[in-house]
Structure 1
Amino acid sequence: MSSQPRYIAIAQRKQAELAAAIPPEWRLPDHAIPEGMLSVAESITEGPKKYGRVSVMEIPRTCGLLSAKELDITENYDIRGLVAEMSEGRFKAEEVVRGFCKRAAIAHQLTRCLTEPLFHRALKRAQELDAHLQRTGTPVGPLHGLPISVKDTFNVQGVDSSIGLSALAFKAAKENAPLVDLLESLGAVIIAKTNIPQTLATLDSCNHLFGRTLNPLNRQWTAGGSTGGEGALIAMRGSMVGFGTDIGGSIRVPAMCQGIYGFKPSLGRVPFGGQMNGQIEGKGRIGLQAVAGPLARSVADIDAIMAEIVPRAELFGEDGIPGSWSSHPVPRSLSPPRGFTIGVLKTDGLVTPLPPITRILDEVAQTLRHTPGVEVVELPVPSVLPKCQALAGRLMGVDDGSHMLNLIESMDEELTPWLQGRMKRGKDLTIPQLAGLQAQRAEVEKEMLKMWTLSNGSSKTRRVDAIICPVAPHPVPQLDRYNAVGYTSTFVLLDYPAGVVPVRPFADSDLETGRDMDAPVLGSWDKANRQLWNEKTTDRRVYLGSPLSVQVVTPKQHDYELLQAMEVVDRAVQGRVGSISAKL
């Protein structure tokens, strides 16, 4: 009898299965992989110094595995442009899907971003799309041949949704998630599923089955979570668009960490059902409900994908709602809507942003002030805003956590180091306690309406169309050092759509060497956040070159308005500082 924990053998089998899914001719030679790529087990326990300050962004271009045409296909098109090339017969879907599958395989060997490579079935589907186009002269749908990836939580028929837990490995899903069905009905091709953290409850994507996903911009920085595998894959152009989920920031945090765009919609805009999350069935309906949404490399790509999903969400998902979206791409000459008002919310009142975060927000606000048609106003911190993080946290944890812990313990699996001491069995909330939390939530929602509206006697008018605020109160940190989630979880609690727009890299001028923060410490979260800036505990130079982003937020169900606001912000900052992707 072996004395090793049961999960180890299962993890070894799973990793062998993953490796076998990558064709030998798509494998990088050893010399092309930077030194310090640790084993799966070591990747969980070893710190950022073991990886070194390494970017792997250029390796797909220089490794020789991708042909000139495959580089062109994977780098020089947006969604609408690439679909047009396939729909009009200039590219075959098979060659497009093959190019992205190869690039995804390369990205995985450098970052551990994949859990389930679906390359064989993706290529087979692409061949079917080509045959249909040749036979009928018409594409299968508006996303004909588009390579798409999804977070490991989404069920794909015949494929595991193990979510990094050995207890769920080798238990293939019996049917697709509604979102997968919707995407495939539109002609899209699912090429892979992507990595997540153990328990889905940390902001660094790390588990015993697949190891730790690394940030391709700098392997010392976190890739974020819980949609970290998607973030790394999209950043490396291994997929055209990826879908994740967000309850505490799991779309927006990886977008921030990798300098890409993330879009957390309102409830019902994107079908959410058909996922594995390791929780008791129906928990989201009584606590805090997560949403699904895209990560992409441009606002235009978010627009292209949401324009097809939102009008069809009610037809595919039991949780979908009726909706419409602009049927035309946002023109590059578009000016902001007349009288478009953007509010600047500098803090949540609970955790004071570190100086570079305040600076980037001020820079964006100043740029917007010079944008025709935009009015910028400073917003005071709503009195209830500091309460939102704790309230969201309590609604995430309405049960005692036993279901997840039972899965983990059933295979003698250990908690990852960050979770040890942080995750333990709790106590179920009673119905009166849960009702009390939801009553508090209602009061917060009511109070927060004042941020958006002006009252004129018995009538009300819109005061603010969108706000900009930090994604996090700190820059992209090293592995396992992401701190406060209130800046993202708050907008799940309120069901406000929220997106991430990258602005520029962290520069020498952002270091403020020798200068400490002098504002009073607001509490334990604020104290922990300052450790990421304290020169006794952090070498600030670790942030050099990391992407600095802002969060854009609109009122509940104003999802298309969020896209417009992101476009306004993006054009303003791109016009001033150039493309973030060109600088990272």
Structure 2
Amino acid sequence: MPASESPAYVGVAQRKQAQLSASIPAEWRLPAHLIPAGMLSPAESITDGPKKYERANVMEIPRTCGLLSSQELNITENYDVRGLVAEMAEGRLKAEEAVQAFCKRAAIAHQLTRCLTEPLFPRALQRARDLDEHLQRTGTPVGPLHGLPVSVKDTFCVEGVDSSIGLSALAFKPASANAPLVDLLQSLGAVVIAKTNIPQTLATLDSCNHLFGRTLNPLNRQWTAGGSTGGEGVLVAMHGSMVGFGTDIGGSIRVPAMCQGIYGFKPSQGRVPFGGQEGGQMAGKGRIALQAVAGPLARSVADLDAVMAEIVPRAELFGEDGIPGYWPSPSTISLSPPRNFTVGVLKTDGLVTPLPPITRILGEVANLLRRTPGVEVVDLPLPPVLPKCQALAGRLMSVDDGSNMLDLIEGMGEPLIPWLQGRMKRGKALHINQLAALQAQRAEVEKEMMKMWILSSSKHTRHIDAIICPIAPHPVPEMDRYNAVGYTSTFVLLDYPAGVVPVRPFGEKDLESGREMDAPVLGSWDKANRLLWNEKTVDRRVYLDSPLSVQVITPKQHDYDLLRAMEIVDRAVQGQSVNAKL
């Protein structure tokens, strides 16, 4: 290639950026002085490390920039899902007003963080007007989520819109049909207002690609926004969407929730339709390897409940991968026989020792739960097979040779993003006997892990209802420094539903200045994790004010029980009373 010529991806990225920019109305654009340095050049933030930017929190800019009216601020900040839907369904608020408020706020959020890939504002507003006309004409809402503004990860297909997943090879190739989840959401009356950013290959926990740039964390641009559902996490945290929908195979819903301090819900397989997505992989890979799931991110447990209550009973009607489901209503909960709710505390995966602030926050939550009426808390011994789960999950994610994805990237002359350089290369696809052996190992691990849910002693047997554990063995890290994924990928391997509950910000007392970890290093992953705490390799003050969260898990297909457990944990953290009897 002549030196004067640029790789093919450069021109495609420029066209895509121009298309995205043109989709934001002039009257929704922020003044240049409100946009932090570095935001105006998507390419700049891909290669520049976290030291490039000052510590910047942009969460208040949507409130103070003057672009949002008092009514739009009220709509985007002061309702939960059920409350906002009720306002529209009962005619006190037009769907068009609500959708426009969230579209405008999403546009502002994007200018500050680069969280969007496909703004769908004109079609969203037309959809809202249609909903208003239907309500006026018939007197009834379109569905139980009438007018609810939602967003979806870029992987989900929306008819007539790209699902480029950050790859220039897939740009300007609009989808011919909606993903089943999009159809389901629209049948419920929801309005999809945007698609959101992801990482190149969908295989990193920092949402960065050459087509749209890097999504930045609105709480602090030095921290990662997480991935691969990073754009969703940012948009929901900034009140640019009521609920976002992502996917999770190694932590891609839970990690962004942790990084933004919001709530994430990774369900069991089949609870939320997953099909109709672009993943850059060979068709059918998920059926023979490790299968990702789809699920919501929101700003409260109640909002997760509101959407899951409508999606779960209908999943089998929309997706070939959906299963029959039942989501109890409050009126049926009281019919369950009363008993105490038992929470197990799992302090480590035995592979990577959590850093001190992670151990501390888990202990704080456990103590709050111990003071909650109706809750019993027990420390769980490390299941012997648990340390094997991360490697097994990793091998099942990589059963092919990687050629499908690399062909798309290399064919356009795209370089790998910094985190993937040296980590991603073509491999060797597994033979059927090797794949079968992996799945046999998985079955043995699943069987052994079933024992974790029952604690037996000479006096009695205790059943564990839910478990709290870390999401990651470290706090929210700087860009491209996320380490071990075993605390999240393990529960995809086991198909346990898992959720994220934010607890509090990282404070001065969490720094433990001058104190280093003295526990023996368990291996290479553990050694790498210590680098995120060693005062010779990191300034711990970078973690100040970052959100600290816990993960909650329940047994396979106990998805409503997970929601209930998250509510118990959340109310304990917030100091609210809760009836913990089931």
- TM-score relative to the length of structure 1: 0.96
Deviation at 1:35, TM superposition (A): 2.9
Deviation at 1:338, TM superposition (A): 2.9
Matches within 5 A, 1:88-99: 88-99=90-101
Partner of 2:524: 524
Matches within 5 A, 1:140-179: 140-179=142-181
What letter is aligned with 1:416?
Answer: I
Partner of 1:380: 381
Contact 2:254–2:264 under 8 Å retained in 1: yes
**Secondary structure of the structure 2 residue equivalent to 1:424:** coil
Partner of 2:500: 500
Deviation at 1:334, TM superposition (A): 14
**Secondary structure of the structure 2 residue equivalent to 1:418:** helix
What letter is aligned with 1:493?
Answer: L
| Residues 282 and 227 of structure 1, relative CA distance in 2, 3 Å threshold | same
Deviation at 1:265, TM superposition (A): 0.1
1:491 aligns with 2:522: no
Partner of 1:443: 444
State percent identity of aligned pairs.
82
- Inter-partner Cα distance in structure 1 for 2:16 and 2:454: 53
Matches within 5 A, 1:441-480: 441-454=442-455, 463-480=463-480
Contact 2:219–2:260 under 8 Å retained in 1: yes
Moved more, 445-454 or 172-181: 445-454
Partner of 2:580: none
**Cα RMSD after superposing both structures:** 1.9
Partner of 1:10: 12
Mark the runs of 5 or more structure 1 residues left unpaired by the alignment.
578-584
Partner of 1:79: 81
Deviation at 1:34, TM superposition (A): 2.2
Contact 1:97–1:126 under 8 Å retained in 2: yes
1:340 aligns with 2:351: no
Contact 2:38–2:45 under 8 Å retained in 1: no
Contact 1:303–1:329 under 8 Å retained in 2: no
- Inter-partner Cα distance in structure 2 for 1:480 and 1:38: 21
- TM-score relative to the length of structure 2: 0.97
Alignment size in residue pairs: 574
Contact 2:226–2:256 under 8 Å retained in 1: yes
**Secondary structure of the structure 2 residue equivalent to 1:84:** helix
1:367 aligns with 2:387: no
Deviation at 1:3, TM superposition (A): 1.4
Alpha-carbon displacement from aligned partner over 1:318-362 (angstroms, at most 9, x marks no partner): 00000010234999x999963110000000000000000000000
What letter is aligned with 1:176?
Answer: N
Matches within 5 A, 1:487-566: 487-566=487-566
Deviation at 1:76, TM superposition (A): 0.1
| Residues 181 and 43 of structure 1, relative CA distance in 2, 3 Å threshold | same
Partner of 2:298: 296
- Inter-partner Cα distance in structure 2 for 1:328 and 1:163: 39
Contact 2:38–2:44 under 8 Å retained in 1: no
What letter is aligned with 2:7?
Answer: P
- Inter-partner Cα distance in structure 1 for 2:41 and 2:186: 35
What letter is aligned with 1:243?
Answer: F
Contact 1:469–1:551 under 8 Å retained in 2: yes
Partner of 2:216: 214
What letter is aligned with 1:366?
Answer: N
1:396 aligns with 2:397: yes
| Residues 397 and 100 of structure 1, relative CA distance in 2, 3 Å threshold | same
Partner of 1:63: 65
| Residues 38 and 422 of structure 1, relative CA distance in 2, 3 Å threshold | farther
**Secondary structure of the structure 2 residue equivalent to 1:237:** coil
| Residues 573 and 168 of structure 1, relative CA distance in 2, 3 Å threshold | same
- Inter-partner Cα distance in structure 2 for 1:235 and 1:161: 23
Contact 1:314–1:320 under 8 Å retained in 2: yes
Contact 1:265–1:497 under 8 Å retained in 2: yes
1:112 aligns with 2:134: no
Moved more, 447-456 or 485-494: 447-456
Contact 2:39–2:111 under 8 Å retained in 1: no
**Secondary structure of the structure 1 residue equivalent to 2:502:** strand
Alpha-carbon displacement from aligned partner over 1:278-305 (angstroms, at most 9, x marks no partner): 0000000000000000000000000000
Partner of 1:238: 240
Contact 1:352–1:473 under 8 Å retained in 2: yes
Partner of 2:229: 227
Deviation at 1:462, TM superposition (A): 6.1
Deviation at 1:39, TM superposition (A): 1.1
Mark the runs of 5 or more structure 2 residues left unpaired by the alignment.
578-582
